[in-house]
C-alpha cells in the first residue's frame, strides 16, 4: 500500500479517526479532513506522532469552495487519489438540534458525499486501484428496516432516508465505473461507541472502522457495487 493517497472525511474523531489511523498503519498517506484547518492539523499531528504519514485538510462537505480547493490541492500535489472514504455524517433528529434536521441531514449525509465524489472522480480514475467507500448504515437498508424490530424502534426518517439515498449513489457510481479499475461500495460500521452510537453500543471505534478499511484496500478481484458489514453483504 506504500505511496497510496487516501482522503477520509470527518476524520478528526470517532470512526473517521480510526479509519485514518488504520489506513496509515498500512503505509498509506492519509489526508485527514475536518471542518476547519486547525482541527485537521491537530488530528494529523496526532497521527504523525504514532508514525503515520498524515496531512490535515480543511473540508466542510457542505461547502462548495472547500470541495473545489481540496480537489485542486490534491491534483497539484499528488496528481491522483487512490482512496476516498465518505465518512462525515450527522444524526440531527435527537430533539436538541435547532436547525432544519431533515434538510441538514441530507446536506451532510447525501449531498456532501455526492458533490465531493463528483469533484474527485477524475483523480480517482487516475489511480491504478481507485476505491470509494461510503459510510452508510443498516438503517438505510429498506429491507432491513421492514424486517428488523430494533431498526424499526431506533430509525428516524431523515437519517434513514439520507443513508438509503447514499446507497443508491453507491450503486450508481459502481455502474458508471464499469470497465475501469475503480470500485465503489457502501459499508455499515455496526453500532459503535461514538457520540452518535452512545456508550451502550457494542463495538469500539476501532472495530467500527474495520469494514471501511477492508473495502478501501480491496484487491483487484474484490467486489464493487455492494453493501457490507464486516465480511457479510447486506441487503439494499
CA–CA distance from 28 to each of 20, 93, 201 (Å)?
A: 9, 35, 29
Q: Of 4, 163, 183, 193, which is the active-site residue?
A: 163
* Distance of alpha carbon 93 from alpha carbon 86, whole angstroms: 21
Assigned C-alpha cell, 35: 471542518
| Pairing between β-strand 227-229 and β-strand 232-233 as defined by DSSP bridges | antiparallel
Let me know if 13 is a catalytic residue: no
* Distance of alpha carbon 130 from alpha carbon 83, whole angstroms: 6
Assigned C-alpha cell, 215: 473495502
* Distance of alpha carbon 208 from alpha carbon 219, whole angstroms: 21
Is residue 62 within 8 A of residue 103, CB to CB? The reply is: no
CA–CA distance from 56 to each of 27, 70, 122, 180 (Å)?
A: 17, 11, 22, 29
Q: Of 4, 17, 159, 193, which is the active-site residue?
A: 159
Secondary structure class of 132 (helix, strand, coil): strand
Task: Name the residues annotated as catalytic.
Answer: 159, 163
Amino acid at each position: 500500500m506504500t505511496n497510496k493517497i487516501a482522503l477520509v472525511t470527518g476524520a478528526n474523531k470517532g470512526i473517521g479517526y480510526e479509519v485514518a489511523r488504520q489506513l496509515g498503519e498500512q503505509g498509506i498517506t492519509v489526508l485527514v479532513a475536518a471542518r476547519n484547518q486547525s482541527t485537521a492539523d491537530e488530528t494529523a499531528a496526532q497521527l504523525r506522532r504514532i508514525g503515520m504519514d498524515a496531512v490535515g485538510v480543511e473540508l466542510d462537505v457542505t461547502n462548495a469552495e472547500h470541495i473545489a480547493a481540496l480537489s485542486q490541492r490534491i491534483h497539484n500535489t499528488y496528481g491522483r487519489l487512490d482512496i476516498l472514504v465518505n465518512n462525515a455524517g450527522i444524526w440531527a433528529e435527537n430533539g436538541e438540534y435547532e436547525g432544519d434536521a431533515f434538510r441538514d441531514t441530507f446536506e451532510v449525509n447525501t449531498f456532501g458525499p455526492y458533490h465531493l465524489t463528483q469533484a474527485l472522480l477524475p483523480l480517482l480514475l487516475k489511480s491504478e486501484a481507485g476505491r470509494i467507500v461510503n459510510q452508510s448504515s443498516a438503517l438505510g437498508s429498506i429491507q432491513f428496516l421492514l424486517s428488523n424490530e430494533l431498526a424499526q424502534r431506533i430509525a428516524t426518517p431523515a437519517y434513514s432516508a439520507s443513508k438509503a439515498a447514499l446507497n443508491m449513489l453507491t450503486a450508481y457510481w459502481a455502474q458508471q465505473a464499469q470497465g475501469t479499475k475503480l470500485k465503489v461500495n457502501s459499508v455499515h460500521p455496526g453500532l459503535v461507541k461514538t457520540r452518535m452510537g452512545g456508550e451502550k453500543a457494542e463495538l469500539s471505534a476501532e472495530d467500527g472502522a474495520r469494514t471501511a478499511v477492508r473495502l478501501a484496500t480491496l484487491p483487484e478481484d474484490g467486489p464493487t457495487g455492494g453493501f457490507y458489514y464486516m465480511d457479510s453483504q447486506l441487503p439494499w
